[in-house]
A and B are shown apart, each in its own frame.
Chain A
Amino acid sequence: MTLNWKLGGLLLGAVFFAAVLLVKPIGVSTQFVILDGIIADTVATDFITQTDEGYSSTNAYMAKSGGKYAKNAANPLNYSFVFVLAMVGGAFLSSMLRGGLSKEERSAPAIWRANYGDTPWKRYAVAFLGGFVVLYGARLAGGCTSGHMMSGMMQTSLSGYIFAAGAFLTAVPTAMLMYKEG
């Protein structure tokens, strides 16, 4: 069951507030880089190196800002990474409590089926490509819907407004072209 928008909005706002009150504003997309770093360092053990000052990496992006990302990838039990893992758990709990999803919905959402029929593998391909473009864009922007749009605009950050303008400028026409039904 989906919450009434007023209750849902107040609860979501309360979570944003709790995050900034207790720790720091919510952000997610950086953790894709951290997981990439963890994977890369497992495959090639010299990907992340410990230096006198802290951590560094053979990758310039991982090494930037004094090796901040490299440090987090070398120590995955940090706030931001555990936060994202806990999100999966929270969503799982919510989904279970409302009875889970139908078999059809699990493989492809109704809006996909309404436009493209029962073509789950096409859906997977679009989801994969979408994920690629979203995370490439999020890293270029330095944040995503959580960090820029929700946390950023909540803090009256200029970058949050610039990001939201860019995101909606392409999101609305893309959605209208791709999903005429549903």
Chain B
Amino acid sequence: MQIVLAILIGAAFGFVLDRVGATNPNVIGGMLTLRRLRLMKTILLAIGTGSILMFGGQMLGLVDVAHMSVKASYIGVFIGGLLLGAGWAASGYCPGTGVCAVGAGRKDAFFYIAGGLLGAAAYMATYPAWKASGLLDDIAGGKVTLGAVPGSEFDGLFAVSGDLLGIALGLVFVLVAFVLPENISGARAQEVPAE
């Protein structure tokens, strides 16, 4: 059953990522140079929609709170984010969209995946040094959500209802998606053919 769900949800995710332009380095480049922000609006709306449905469903008892999976906070999250951001901008792919781009028929994405496998292997080899540095040690409580979510195994950073905060933040994401202009870098707003 789990495998059937993996195929269905995975295929749906890959399909939609392709349809919103996330597998296309031209679209990613447009977003990260702030010249074409439609994909940013899409992603903000998606996070907001997901958040409202998930926390709303949890409050109504329709969604199992145990399905939540919160990652730990540590200094390495920020350093890793800095590295990922640079590589993401240079290549136009993140791990998920790079894999999808192979499916979409992009040859350069094969090289991206090969580099990614080597990069992941390099991290595996250097993991003990990172571990010893203390940069992987939890900060701010480690696996925490911003508010305390009833029934979850995670602590809340702030003593507010995590459900309500989740829905409120979800609404903020949706609102920002709507008010964000499609272009904020001004001068260079011309359209580039997507394919």
| A contacts, CB < 8 Å to B | 1-3, 5-6, 8-29, 32-33, 35-36, 39-40, 59-62, 64, 77-80, 82-95, 100-102, 105-112, 114, 120, 123-160, 162-172, 174-176, 178-179, 182
Contacts and interface: CB of A to CB of B under 8 A. Distances in A.
A149 B78 CA distance: 12
A28 B123 CA distance: 16
Interface of B: 2-3, 5-21, 23-27, 29-30, 32-34, 38-39, 41-51, 53-54, 57, 63-64, 67-74, 76-109, 111-125, 127-128, 130-131, 140-141, 143-147, 149, 157, 162, 165-166, 169-170, 173, 177, 192-195
B74 to A, nearest CB: 8
Contact of B109 (A33, A127, A140): A127
A73 B143 CA distance: 25
A93 B91 CA distance: 23
A118 B110 CA distance: 18
A136 B88 contact: no
A137 B120 contact: no
A35 to B, nearest CB: 6
B5 A23 contact: yes
A124 B108 contact: yes
12 contacts: A5-B41, A11-B19, A84-B96, A131-B115, A131-B118, A134-B98, A138-B95, A145-B96, A152-B71, A156-B162, A158-B144, A159-B74
Dominant secondary structure of chain A at its interface with chain B: helix
Contacts of B12: 15, 18, 90
Contacts of A123: 108
A39 to B, nearest CB: 8
Contact of B115 (A14, A130, A176): A130
B155 to A, nearest CB: 10
A135 B73 contact: no
B140 to A, nearest CB: 6
Nearest to B156: A156
Contact of B106 (A18, A80, A106, A175): A106
A170 B9 CA distance: 31
Given A36-B124, A111-B29, A126-B90, A132 B130 contact: no
A142 B76 contact: yes
A60 B136 CA distance: 14
Contacts of B113: 131
A59 to B, nearest CB: 5
